[in-house]
Amino acid sequence: MAKKTETYCSFCGRSSREVDLLMPGINGCICSDCAAQAYEISREYLAEKGKDKVKDIDINDVPKPVAIKEYLDQYIIGQERAKKYISVAVYNHYKRLAQKNDDVDIEKSNIIMVGPTGTGKTLIAKTIARLLKVPFAIVDATVLTEAGYVGEDIESLLTRLLQACDYDVKLAERGIVFIDEIDKIARKGDNPSITRDVSGEGVQQGLLKLLEGSIVNVPPQGGRKHPEQRMIAVNTKNILFICGGAFEGIERKIALRLNTHAVGYGADAASKRIAREKLLHYVTPQDLRSFGLIPEIIGRLPILTNLEELDRAALRRILVEPKNAIVKQYVKLFSMDGVELKFDDEALDYVVDKAIEFKLGARGLRSIVETIMIDAMYETPSTGKKEFVVTKEYAKSQLQKANFEMMQQVN
């Protein structure tokens, strides 16, 4: 009887008994382990090769400011001024990337948005991300501390941007970064600190080199840097930075500044009342400095805009009008179970009233509706019902059942 010939992998030399799978070819074999390793090597090689082919920006393919704002209008109610500022800043960023060698060097138009929580600062940034063809990242300034202290280094802001484009450095260097909660790194006192302000002024000083444009070493996985870690060099010259913050209490700074200019008896009482209601509309770089941002940071954020407090009509529209409106999301969830969901107008008005009562803004609308719908989402898929109507009485009873008012008072 002829002895069976043993087959071996042509790459690693292991026999068919030592591997899970041995695949034969014309003049040899390859095992499953070597095939997987070959795939990883080829994938990395092709990725590196493709990174050298970052296409130039064609200004004719860039959406115009009007088109950008129209896209934002589909998802964001109100905030016309902020949407216009963002649209222009993004369009100018593209034009700056498309600029060839020229006598006039277009500088970055970094932008800062000031507005109460729940007015749409982060939503504007996320919506822009859907439209753009450049890497986009949203990062939080609250985790940052001065180098050498517990927390994250300033350079880790760019880690999220690198991750968004699969660590393609050339692509990341033309991206956009939204820094949220920028007000949380304000200087803790009115005067320069004589002690370490490791999460305030120290972070602002570190942000300067990122905002104005320089080559920085970024830790690939974020967090703290250490000497033995491999760094990625990123040039921030063409990265657009958009900052947002609630700046809670800045209205007092604005009111103080406006009152110093109100001299005499000619002031109109009605205009004073409007000014008190919409003080953020009059925010200036001087107010940001009074709040605690250092002048160097303010100078590198030349475009300043504000988001208005959402009134009752705007909150009502937010519930039903945008493409991703909260009501539309729940209607879709129920329709996937074959159930038609309806909301009475009185129920929607009740939700808006509660959001205003607890000063939750647009973000609070979702938590209120979720509290109202949790029992229905739990029970309805198993009942076989084909229709479910949310009335004001049902909404009120669900909030009372969940002790919603008590939870808000505790928070």
Q: Give me the sign of the Cα torsion angle 139, 142, 143, 148.
A: positive
- pLDDT at residue number 387: 93
For 132, the token pair is: 């753009």
CA distance 132 to 159: 19
pLDDT mean for each 10 residues of the chain (411 residues): 71 88 88 90 73 66 90 90 91 84 79 86 85 84 64 78 88 89 76 51 82 84 62 88 89 80 49 60 90 90 89 90 91 93 94 86 87 92 90 92 63 46
Residue found by looking up tokens 């300067």 in the block: 208
For the chain, the farthest-separated pair of C-alpha atoms sits apart, in whole angstroms, at 118
- pLDDT at residue number 248: 86
- pLDDT at residue number 268: 53
Nearest-CA neighbor of 326 among 379, 359, 363? Answer: 363
For 149, the token pair is: 């202290």
CB burial of residue 212 (10 Å; 0-12, 13-18, 19+): middle
- pLDDT at residue number 43: 79
Task: Please give the angle made by the CA atoms of 411, 314 and 274, to the nearest 5 degrees.
Answer: 90
Q: Does pTM surpass 0.85?
A: no
State how beta strands 232-235 and 111-114 pair: unpaired
CA distance 275 to 254: 10
- pLDDT at residue number 44: 77
- pLDDT at residue number 1: 43
Could you tell me which residues come within 8 angstroms of residue 321 by beta carbon, excluding any fewer than 6 positions away? 77
For 210, the token pair is: 């990122």
CA distance 273 to 276: 5
Residue 187 has a CB neighbour count (10 Å cut-off) of: 19
How distant is the alpha carbon of residue 159 from its chain centre? 14
Domains of the chain with CATH codes: 1-53 (no CATH), 59-306 (3.40.50.300), 312-410 (1.10.8.60)
The answer to whether 312 touches 352, Cβ cutoff 8 Å, is yes
CA distance 89 to 312: 29
- pLDDT at residue number 404: 66
The answer to whether 318 touches 355, Cβ cutoff 8 Å, is no
Could you tell me which residues come within 8 angstroms of residue 278 by beta carbon, excluding any fewer than 6 positions away? 308, 309
- pLDDT at residue number 204: 85
